[in-house]
Structure 1
């Protein structure tokens, strides 16, 4: 799981749009990751962007070496669980802030809760494409 997290970080660092990499089709998430990376490699070659090309090639090598659809699905389910826990924590923080009556604190907690809920929705969407 750490390898996948590191891979995801590398992909983000390479300035990729991560959402298509997380989508899956009938063949599974790893095949989609490979295809998207290859398309990005082709585009980087055409534009002569050697820095991006190096990062993309490393990312493709990591996908080839470490990506397994079953572990990818487990990782996505774990992300949903973590996101649910984060939402629960943010709801608790908001309740506590409401108890103080401090409007600035309440507004901050509401924003953090909204962000956590959005992350939960994204995690659920990513996990549902595996089913």
Structure 2
């Protein structure tokens, strides 16, 4: 079997990798556009799976997002979600402190788990907000 030259291999790899680099350079959608794109993707999946009920629901959601979503309203909604998550973390921390003062190991572990879950929710909300927040750099 004849070996391929390094130049031929390099050229083949370059041609195969070109679409990957092009995909990385595509602008990242944000705000309402990202939300519409996400719903459209789910619609395509529902179509591919033949789930007409889910498809209909998603199409209703898409039309509502298209009619009512503005980047300002989405930003406000996500900011509210972050505030609620912060409040939840604070409440869970207080619950854990109370459980620790009573010394019940089962309650302490349950409260730690709930606090960890709340912190994850807060992190997720902050990440989602960062995707939408205008960048003034």
Q: TM-score range by the shorter chain?
A: 0.7 to 0.9
2:90 to 66, 71, 88: 88
The residue that corresponds to 1:98 in the other structure is 100
Q: CA 1:27 to 1:45, structure 2 compared with 1: closer, same or farther past 3 Å? A: closer
Point out the structure with max Rg over C-alpha.
2
2:115 to 110, 113, 116: 113
* 1:43-58 correspondence runs (5 A): 43-58=45-60
1:42 to 13, 22, 44: 44
SS at match of 2:132: coil
Q: Is 1:127 matched with 2:133? A: no
Q: TM-score, normalised by structure 1?
A: 0.75
The residue that corresponds to 1:14 in the other structure is none
Where relative contact order (Cα < 8 A, 6+ residues apart) is larger, the structure is 1
Consecutive aligned runs of 4 or more in structure 1 exceeding 3 Å deviation: 25-28
Paired residues, what number? 107
The residue that corresponds to 2:78 in the other structure is 76
Q: Quote the Cα distance in structure 2 between the aligned partners of 1:103 and 1:46.
A: 49
The residue that corresponds to 1:66 in the other structure is 68
C-alpha displacement of 1:129: 1.2
Q: Quote the Cα distance in structure 1 between the aligned partners of 2:61 and 2:67.
A: 10
Specify every segment of 5 or more residues in structure 2 that has no aligned partner in the other structure, as ranges.
Answer: 1-26
Q: TM-score, normalised by structure 2?
A: 0.72
Q: CA 1:45 to 1:85, structure 2 compared with 1: closer, same or farther past 3 Å? A: same
**C-alpha RMSD over aligned residues:** 1.6
Q: Quote the Cα distance in structure 1 between the aligned partners of 2:88 and 2:78.
A: 15
